[in-house]
Amino acid sequence: MEQVQQQVRQEIERAKEYLRNYDGEQVNLMEVCGTHTHEIFRLGIRSLLSPKIRLISGPGCPVCVTGADFIDEAVYLAKQGAIITTFGDLVRVPGTKQSLAEARADGADIRVVYAPVDALDLALQYPERQVVFLSVGFETTTPAECLAVKMAKEQGVRNFTLLTANKTMLQAYRAMANKNKLIFLYPGHVHAIIGTGICRELAEREGISGVVSGFTAYELLAAITVAVKKAQANEPFFVNAYPRVVSEEGSLAGKALMEEVMVPCSAYWRGIGVMEGSGLALSDAYAEFDARKRFAVPEMEGRENPACRCGEILQGKCLPPDCPLFGKACTPEHAVGACMVSGEGTCSAFYLYGNTTVEEKVL
């Protein structure tokens, strides 16, 4: 065991030295995962890199890319008397007029759950109430949402629905790659579900390069090192640097669940706009569990604070400190935009770890 630790430590030291002293062509890496953004900051990895290696945070935080119109829909349903169930981050995201936290202060029934099946349990517990789960996320969380709906159907539950804003990553990769010459640090947990086939195809057919990365210091440093080294050949490439979790085919069970319960749809991404085929909605077979259909939710305005620059930050066009509200009117305690609310958001990462300079944190 000690020998393995020693070997890992030596490899980390070699990677640190390479990345610190790199003096070749500028390399632009985009981490398309909010957890990567936060871990890279928290571990002090940015401070290790040569100025010739630029890390750009992309649209990889599901809460951050979800528009204000979705919050408006959830607030509307809460005001109709539904129990709204959600993961915690969404509660404080501003809507056009109110966040869910503000609606709760007005008496709405908003509850934080840790899994979609918890929302289903709540529906079984309160058969006289309608329970809506806010289904927001990428392929990482979508199978769990599909499972809850499938269970609800099998059990004949009539008071459980999803309000969906599920998204898939492929179109986002294409949108970002077209705008910038980037190498992606692909999100390990998304590709644990969908596999690496699409990454390989993006490299071979569309010239889009990337490396799938895990989340530890060792995994992140290894992935960044591989990306920088591969970039030297000036050829499109793909490397799976997280093979202990991610396979070529991904999770067959997870993919089968998504295919059974959901179908592709167009979706709005904050900063990018509407992209065809970049979302998932409930299929006809599960339409009775679609909150929009069951409650005839009207179309919402979805107006965001015009001073907030989340949209540009999510495209890597500017950094959080470029926003005049950053750290002043907008902090994690009093967030103006989704990127500061979310525990995966770029603004919150800059706020929490922006002064990180202690490179030893990598160890």
Q: Which is nearer to ligand SF4, 61 or 192 (CB)?
A: 61
Q: Which residue has 């709405």 as its token pair? A: 108
Q: Which is nearer to ligand SF4, 34 or 195 (CB)?
A: 34
313 binds ligand SF4 (CB under 6 A): yes
Task: Return the range that interacts with ligand SF4 (CB under 6 A); candidates 38-46, 214-222, 279-287, 322-330.
Answer: 322-330
Q: Which is nearer to ligand SF4, 103 or 325 (CB)?
A: 325
Residue type, 53: I
82 binds ligand SF4 (CB under 6 A): no
Q: Which of 134, 221, 291, 308 binds ligand SF4 (CB under 6 A)?
A: 308
Contact call for residues 194 and 202 (beta carbons, < 8 A): no
Q: Which is nearer to ligand SF4, 279 or 320 (CB)?
A: 320
Helix residue ranges, H only, the chain: 2-21, 34-42, 62-65, 68-79, 100-105, 116-125, 142-155, 169-179, 188-194, 197-206, 217-231, 252-261, 291-294, 310-313, 338-341, 346-353
Smallest distance, Å, CB 351 to ligand SF4?
8
Q: Cα separation of 299 and 288, whole Å?
A: 19
3-state SS, residue 276: strand
Q: Cα separation of 263 and 341, whole Å?
A: 29
Q: Which is nearer to ligand SF4, 2 or 333 (CB)?
A: 333
61 binds ligand SF4 (CB under 6 A): no
Q: Which is nearer to ligand SF4, 60 or 116 (CB)?
A: 60
281 binds ligand SF4 (CB under 6 A): no
Q: Which of 143, 195, 214, 337 binds ligand SF4 (CB under 6 A)?
A: 337
Q: Point out the residue whose Cβ comes nearest to ligand SF4.
A: 337
351-355 own/partner pairs: CB under 8 Å, 24+ apart: 351/320, 351/326, 351/327, 352/38, 352/41, 352/42, 353/38, 353/41, 353/42, 354/41, 354/320, 354/321
Q: Cα separation of 46 and 36, whole Å?
A: 12
Tell me whether strands 160-167 and 273-282 are parallel, antiparallel or unpaired. antiparallel
Q: Which of 148, 323, 349, 362 binds ligand SF4 (CB under 6 A)?
A: 323
Smallest distance, Å, CB 336 to ligand SF4?
4
Q: Which is nearer to ligand SF4, 102 or 109 (CB)?
A: 102
Binding site for ligand SF4 (CB under 6 A): 308-310, 313, 320, 323, 325-326, 330, 336-337, 339-340, 347
